[in-house]
């Protein structure tokens, strides 16, 4: 009874994982999976940079405009290195701009957490806590990668992300342990973002990360340290860790919420209108 | 020790071409904090000449997304062209990761005089002590952090409780 489903699911997974890449999963599995993996890290950073950039002039205070823009800039810098690296591994001549501006929605491999709209400031801060907490553990793990570009970026970026994580922590504490209204909204922020947490820590489909031993970091291994950090912040902020009844999935294989489809035209407009434009 | 001094002294009067170019690149001012040179910041990693005569400069960014990086590369290129180098390439490397500990003592003094509190000595990642920054104007340590993120990625925003002036502080990284 389950056989046909299993077969078609396997085929789908292969296509979803690397189908749009110019490197063949069967002929060159390690290179294909590594391209996919690095693009996932790159797209997380790129899409969140775009989301945070939207808050410039819209944050609750000018210091936050500046802080969120700074964090976005760090993420954009990380994304540029990662996109350039993914293009080199793929080996088809695509550079960072091709990958950022000329891919469509289904070719993006970011988790859905980074693409959902910020909405209330507390939603943005909940996402920052989740994501910076995750990225901090990720980069700490990648410092030991056998891939020198990943290791070099990780050693640099972990220092930047330590500031992002602390920034989110301070806001969650302030809002959670603040007034009745700020507490209510911070809790609502956590509640609305928590269904997107699991996706960060999934090892993904297909032959996957087992092929990248010593190069990639298995996301499942990051969860205990992340839970310990986030749990402490939530407790200290007098908030409650949500127990969501559903969870997002599919971002790493190109299945996204409708929100990514609205974000991309704004991000890609200039490059597509003026191909090859440079400063 | 005496030998080294003599050695340095004799080399001082007879800089190799490459050392001269290295000094030219290092003397380029930072576009965002122009009182500092690239050598003050410690971001010129290497200068070498390829067999075909091209001078290759290796820089490291302060932050991965620092928008000044491209401007710095252009400034280095134009400074070297200005002293007669025909072909220049500028390469950016991330590893080893830059740290504020590489800012020279002279650089720290210049920062203070410019009105920016120099960075504390860097600690291993993930220390979140709020250390006091000394007001670069009146020297008071009675100061308060307004925001950890300032007008450039490398600075935070502070306010002095003694002279009431706001000031930037270079973040330890």
ipTM: 0.80
Residue contact A76–B128, C-beta within 8 A: no
- Supply the pLDDT for residue A5: 42
CA distance linking residue A219 with residue A227, whole number of Å? 13
> Could you tell me which chain B residue has the CA closest to the CA of A72?
B65
- In this prediction, residue A9 has a pLDDT band, given cuts at 50, 70 and 90, of very low
Q: Distance, in angstroms, between A116 CA and closest chain B CA? A: 23
Between the alpha carbon of residue A180 and those of residues A26, A184, A239, B163, the distances in Å are 56, 6, 12, 36
Whether pLDDT at B3 is above 50: no
> What pLDDT score was predicted for residue A203?
82
Q: CB distance B65–A74 less than 8 Å?
A: yes
Contact across the interface for B94 and A158, Cβ inside 8 Å = no
Q: Do A158 and B67 touch (CB under 8 A)?
A: no
Neighbouring C-alpha atoms within 13 Å toward the C-beta of A272: 12
* Overall domain count for chain A: 1
pLDDT digits (tens, 9 = 90+) for A136-179: 999 999 999 999 999 999 999 999 999 999 999 999 999 999 99
Per-residue exposure over A38-57, b if at least 16 CB sit within 10 Å of its own CB, e if not: bbbbbbbbbbbbbbbbbbee
Pick the residue of A65, A73, A168 with the most B CBs within 10 A to test the interface with B by mutation.
A73
CATH of domain B2-98: 3.30.300.130
Query: Model confidence at A6, in pLDDT bands (50, 70, 90)?
Result: very low
**Phi, psi (degrees; rounded to nearest 5) at B54:** -65, 135
For chain B, which residues make up each domain, given as ranges? 2-98, 103-170
CA distance A223 to A206: 21
Task: Give me the residues of B, 1-60, that contact A with CB < 8 A.
Answer: none
B130 reaches A (C-beta below 8 A): no
Q: Which of A159, A160, A168, A171 to mutate to test the interface with B (most CBs of B within 10 A)?
A: A159
Q: Which residues of B touch A136 (CB under 8 A)?
A: 126
State the residue range of the domain holding A172: 17-273
What is the rounded CA–CA span in Å between residue A60 and residue B18?
52
Instruction: Please tell me the predicted confidence (pLDDT) of residue A26.
Output: 82
3-state secondary structure chain A: CCHHHHHHHHHHHHHHHHCCCCCCCCCCHHHHHHHHHHHHHHHHHHHHHHHHHCCCCCCCCHHHHHHHHHHHHHHHHHHHHHHHHHHHHHCCCCCHHHHHHCCCHHHCCCCHHHCCCCCCHHHHHHHHHHHHHHHHHHHHHHCCCCCHHHHHHHHHHHHHHHHHHHHHHHHHHHHHCCCHHHHHHHHHHHHHHHHHCHHHHCCCCCCHHHHHCCCCCCHHHHHHHHHHHHHHHHHHCCCCCCCCCCCCCCHHHCCCCHHHHHHHHHHHHHHHHCCCCCC
Q: Which residue has better confidence, B1 or A154?
A: A154
Q: Using 50, 70 and 90 to split pLDDT, how confident is the model at A278?
A: confident
Task: Check A80 against B65: CB less than 8 A apart.
Answer: yes
A229: which chain B residues are within 8 Å (Cβ-Cβ)? none
Confidence at residue A166, expressed as pLDDT on a 0 to 100 scale: 94
pLDDT at B139 over 50: yes
CB contact under 8 A, A70 and B153: yes
Q: What is the pLDDT of residue B124?
A: 59
Nearest chain A residue to B153, by CA: A70
Q: Which residue of A has its CA nearest to B93?
A: A152
From A16, A8, A57, A1, select the one nearest A206 (Cα to Cα).
A16
Minimal Cα–Cα distance from A229 to chain B, Å? 12
pLDDT, residue B153, reads 83
- In sequence order, the 6+-apart residues with CB closer than 8 A to the CB of A197 are A113, A130, A244, A247
Q: A30-37, long-range: CB within 8 Å, 24+ apart, which pairs?
A: A30/A211, A30/A212, A31/A89, A31/A90, A31/A91, A33/A206, A33/A207, A33/A208, A33/A209, A33/A211, A33/A212, A34/A89, A34/A147, A34/A211, A34/A212, A34/A215, A34/A216, A35/A86, A35/A89, A35/A90, A36/A109, A37/A209, A37/A212, A37/A216
Neighbours of A3 (CB within 10 A): 7
Spell out which residues of chain A touch residue B73, defining contact as CB-CB under 8 Å: none
More confident residue, A272 or A16: A272
Between A133 and B121, the higher pLDDT residue: A133
> Which CATH number fits the domain that encloses residue A32?
1.20.1260.10
Inter-chain CB proximity B64 and A162 less than 8 Å: no
Maximum Cα–Cα distance across chain A: 59
Distance (Å) from the C-alpha of residue A123 to the closest C-alpha of chain B?
A: 20
Question: Is A5 domain-assigned?
Answer: no
Contact A209, A33 (CB under 8 A): yes
Pick from A22-26, A113-117, B113-117: least confident: A22-26
CA distance A4 to chain B (A): 47
């Amino acid at each position: 009874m389950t056989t046909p489903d299993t077969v078609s699911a396997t085929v789908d997974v292969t296509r979803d994982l690397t189908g749009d890449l110019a490197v063949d999963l069967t002929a060159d599995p390690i290179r294909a999976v590594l391209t996919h993996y690095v693009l996932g890290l790159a797209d997380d950073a790129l899409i969140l940079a775009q989301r945070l950039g939207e808050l410039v002039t819209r944050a609750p205070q000018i210091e936050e405009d500046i802080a969120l823009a700074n964090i976005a800039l760090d993420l954009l810098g990380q994304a540029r290195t990662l996109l350039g690296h993914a293009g080199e591994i793929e080996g088809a001549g695509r550079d960072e701009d091709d990958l950022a501006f000329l891919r469509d929605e289904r070719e993006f491999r970011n988790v859905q957490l980074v693409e959902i709209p910020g909405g209330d400031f507390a939603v943005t801060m909940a996402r920052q806590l989740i994501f910076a907490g995750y990225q901090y553990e990720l980069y700490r793990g990648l410092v030991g990668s056998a891939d020198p570009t990943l290791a070099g970026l990780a050693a640099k970026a972990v220092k930047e992300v330590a500031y992002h994580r602390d920034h989110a922590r301070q806001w969650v504490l302030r809002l959670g342990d603040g007034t009745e209204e700020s507490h209510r909204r911070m809790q609502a922020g956590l509640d609305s973002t928590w269904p997107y947490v699991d996706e960060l820590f999934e090892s993904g489909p297909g032959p996957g990360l087992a092929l990248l031993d010593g190069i990639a970091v298995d996301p499942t291994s990051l969860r205990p340290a992340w839970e310990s950090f986030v749990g402490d912040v939530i407790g200290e902020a007098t908030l409650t860790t949500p127990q969501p009844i559903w969870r997002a999935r599919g971002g790493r294989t190109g299945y996204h919420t409708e929100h990514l489809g609205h974000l991309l035209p704004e991000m890609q407009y200039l490059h597509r209108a003026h191909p090859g434009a440079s400063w | 020790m005496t030998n080294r001094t003599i050695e340095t002294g004799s080399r001082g009067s007879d800089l190799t071409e490459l050392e001269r170019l290295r000094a030219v690149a290092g003397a380029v001012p930072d576009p965002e904090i122009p009182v500092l040179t690239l050598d003050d910041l410690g971001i010129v990693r290497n200068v070498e000449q390829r067999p075909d005569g091209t001078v290759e400069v290796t820089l490291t960014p302060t932050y991965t997304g620092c928008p000044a990086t491209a401007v710095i590369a252009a400034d280095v290129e134009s400074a070297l062209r200005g002293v007669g180098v025909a072909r220049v390439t500028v390469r950016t490397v991330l590893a080893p990761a830059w740290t504020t500990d590489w800012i020279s003592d002279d650089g720290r003094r210049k920062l203070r005089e410019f009105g920016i509190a120099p960075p504390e000595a860097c600690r291993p990642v993930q220390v979140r002590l709020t250390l006091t920054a000394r007001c670069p104007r009146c020297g008071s340590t009675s100061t308060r952090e307004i925001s950890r993120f300032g007008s450039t990625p490398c600075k935070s925003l502070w306010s002095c409780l003694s002279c009431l002036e706001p000031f930037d502080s270079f973040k330890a990284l």
